[in-house]
Structure 1
Amino acid sequence: MVQPETGRWLIMALAIVVAAVALVLGVAFAFQRSLIYPVGRAPAPPAVGATPGYRDIVFATADGLQLRALYRPARGRPTIVFFHGNADGLAGGVAAMRGLAAADYGVLIPEYRGYAGQPGRISEAGLYADGAGALAWLAQAGVPPGDTVLIGNSLGSGIAVELATRRRDWRALVIVSGFTSLPDAVAATFGIGLLRPLVRDRYASAAKLRGIGLPVLILHGDADRVIGVDHGIALAKAAGTVASLRIVPGAGHDLVWYPATATTIADWLS
């Protein structure tokens, strides 16, 4: 039998634990975007004019930002709009697109608000606006949707999926190392399902892919320890018959930089 004094101490200890957990969750909720978007870990952007084959351009967003992008015109091929992943930037995008650029595909790599010294505060809606602004610039440059391929890597897959669902006449959508939703990815990372409702930015890609009306290629490494391969499988299932799934044995979360990835994408597009 628990003595009254012991019972009081147990209740106090439990209250302290609950308060500590609530405090940690409250701080994490308040500052989650700083945790989710680690822009300080991104590589330094290339100097203006320092990327051979590309030219620096500035595009506008609907909420009035002016953001940087790198662009190289196509040579008889479609143009790829590449949405980079978290803790990445223009330099990483150029490296990821090297093989496709060498195959004469056009490439547009937009930078996001809050990344690499760009103006604006990061949010899911904001990154969608950035992607939409980049696509509007490309259309004004004379590249129609039917010649535009959207490729999203990791975090960028959430942006690419959202924009792909806004119209049905894009050439294709390619998802590399993507996730079903950001809450799913966060819950898997920390092993705590209760974190899902606390994640403000959703990027609900699996739900958005249902009924999508354009071809989708999904690439995922089976050794990805950042976003498990089960996410890629679930995305393909959500997209249904329009999806082609390629699981790469032994590949991790750096799949987008594998030379074979560019070859796979080019072969599929052809």
Structure 2
Amino acid sequence: MNKPSIHPYIPIIIGVISISLSAILVKLATADAGVIAFYRMLFSVLIMSPIFFIKHFKELSLITKRDWLFSSIAGVFLAFHFILWFESLNYTSVASSTVLVTLQPIFAFIGTYIFFKEPLSAKTIISGLIAILGSFLISWGDFQISGTALYGDMLALIACALITAYLLFGQDVRKRISLITYTMVVYSISTICLFFYVLIKGESFGPYSSMDWLWFLLLAIIPNLLGHTLFNWAIKWVSTNVISIAVLFEPIGAAILAYFVFNEHLMLTQIIGGIVVLIGIALFVVDLKIIKKFFIKKA
């Protein structure tokens, strides 16, 4: 496998910053969860279509049945991830929902170990546990033992499992298919799935206010095309575990934005939790051997 032109961590960082806007844009929209998810994916497909049909359309004939199957499953998982997560925002806070939906290492570590036989090093486990601890601290004050909040928390947790499964299937397929083709296939399948979901649920495809259409479009451009698409690029070069750890930074960005947009105040536990998340991410990303050499030379 050829080396990437840029370090995979750079697109991952840009992707994490981009998806931090997702919960804010969803909460600003007035449509049902399925409708928001549908238009997010539809606009993403429409924006990508010119590049795909001009440069990558022929690649479809090279996709194997196995890769079509895996891509289709990934698309369905992505669709229901959005449905459940967007719905959770109607029942619980941005901080709680975002924290739970980004607890991907719990599922990613197990998934990559079972399906790809990736060993779990002590560093991976410890850094993951530290970051997860930080995520819980961020929303400690938001967790409520009530029917609606608990329901929203459960939806977000299931959405977390689905997005991890989506990344796991993508990790396998992306080694053989270009970024644009894979993303176009998965997003198209996800859009079709969401269309029938909205149709069956009887939710309205419109009309909506001009602001709602703006939120739909921004969801497609920022969290999808600058967020998930960059993750799809990086997944060719790094493990799902790397992205899952990095995504734990999302609650920090979402909590800060929620403070300014919705006046959801940050508490001390959330600030401390953010610092703990960063420590966990740093421990996972930084090469401990380099640090050891640095201190040995200094000594």
Q: TM-score range by the shorter chain?
A: under 0.3
Larger radius of gyration: 1
Q: Which structure's relative contact order is higher, taking Cα pairs within 8 Å and 6+ residues apart?
A: 2
Comparing both structures, which one devotes a greater share of its residues to strand? Answer: 1
Comparing both structures, which one devotes a greater share of its residues to helix? Answer: 2
Give TM-score, length-normalised by structure 1: 0.27
